[in-house]
Amino acid sequence: MALTAVLLALVAGSIVYSILTILAARSYLAVKPSPIADGEPISVLKPLSGAEDQLEANLRTFFTQQYQNYEILFAVRHADDAAVATVEKLRAEYPSVPVRLIVTGEPPYPNAKVYSLDLMKSAAHHELLVMSDSDIRATPEMLATLAAEFADPVVGLTTCPYRAIPGRGVWSTLEAIGMNTQFLGGVLTARMLEGMKFALGPTITARKSVLDKMGGFDKLREYLAEDFVMGKFAAELGYRVLLSSYVIEHHIGSQDFAANFAHRLRWARSTRRSRPSGYTGELFTMPLPVALLLWAWSPALWPIAAFSIALRGASAWTCARRVLRDRLPARFWGLLPVQDVLAFIVWMAGFFGNHIAWRGRKYVLHPDGRFEPAPSSRR
Q: What are φ and ψ of residue 242, in 5° steps?
A: -115, 130
- Tell me whether strands 240-243 and 128-132 are parallel, antiparallel or unpaired: unpaired
Contact 143, 132 (CB under 8 A): no
**Total residue length of the chain:** 379
Q: What are φ and ψ of residue 64, in 5° steps?
A: -115, 30
Sheet holding 99-103, edge to edge: 99-103, 70-76, 42-47, 128-132, 203-207, 155-159, 240-243
The reported pLDDT for the residue numbered 109 is 83
Torsion of CA 306, 285, 187, 194, to 10 degrees: 100
Please report, for residues 104, 133, 221, 239, the alpha-carbon distance to residue 209 in angstroms, rounded to integers and kept in the order given. Answer: 23, 22, 18, 11
Ordered alpha helix ranges (H), 237-367: 257-274, 276-281, 287-297, 302-317, 328-331, 336-349
Beta carbons within 8 Å of 341's beta carbon, 6+ residues apart: 288, 289
Largest CA distance in the chain: 71
- Tell me whether strands 128-132 and 42-47 are parallel, antiparallel or unpaired: parallel
Q: How much is the pTM?
A: 0.90
Contact 347, 272 (CB under 8 A): no
Contact 272, 224 (CB under 8 A): no
Contact 340, 195 (CB under 8 A): no
Q: Which residues pair with 250 in a beta bridge?
A: 136, 164
Q: Tens digit of pLDDT per residue, the chain (379 long)?
A: 788 898 899 999 999 999 999 999 999 999 988 777 668 999 999 999 988 888 999 999 999 999 989 999 999 999 999 999 999 999 999 999 999 999 999 998 888 899 999 999 999 999 999 999 999 999 999 999 999 999 888 999 999 999 999 988 899 999 999 999 999 999 999 999 999 999 998 999 999 999 999 999 989 988 888 999 999 999 999 999 999 999 999 998 788 888 888 889 888 988 888 788 888 888 888 888 889 988 998 988 989 999 999 999 999 999 999 999 998 877 888 898 999 999 999 999 999 888 877 766 788 888 887 888 777 655 4
Give all strands (DSSP E) within 147-246, no chain letters. 155-159, 162-165, 203-207, 240-243
Query: What is the Cβ-side half-sphere exposure of residue 184, based on CA atoms within 13 angstroms?
Result: 32
The reported pLDDT for the residue numbered 120 is 97
Amino acid identity of 191?
Answer: R
Q: What are φ and ψ of residue 327, in 5° steps?
A: -100, 0
Q: Which residues pair with 358 in a beta bridge?
A: 361
The reported pLDDT for the residue numbered 275 is 80
The reported pLDDT for the residue numbered 376 is 63
The reported pLDDT for the residue numbered 379 is 47
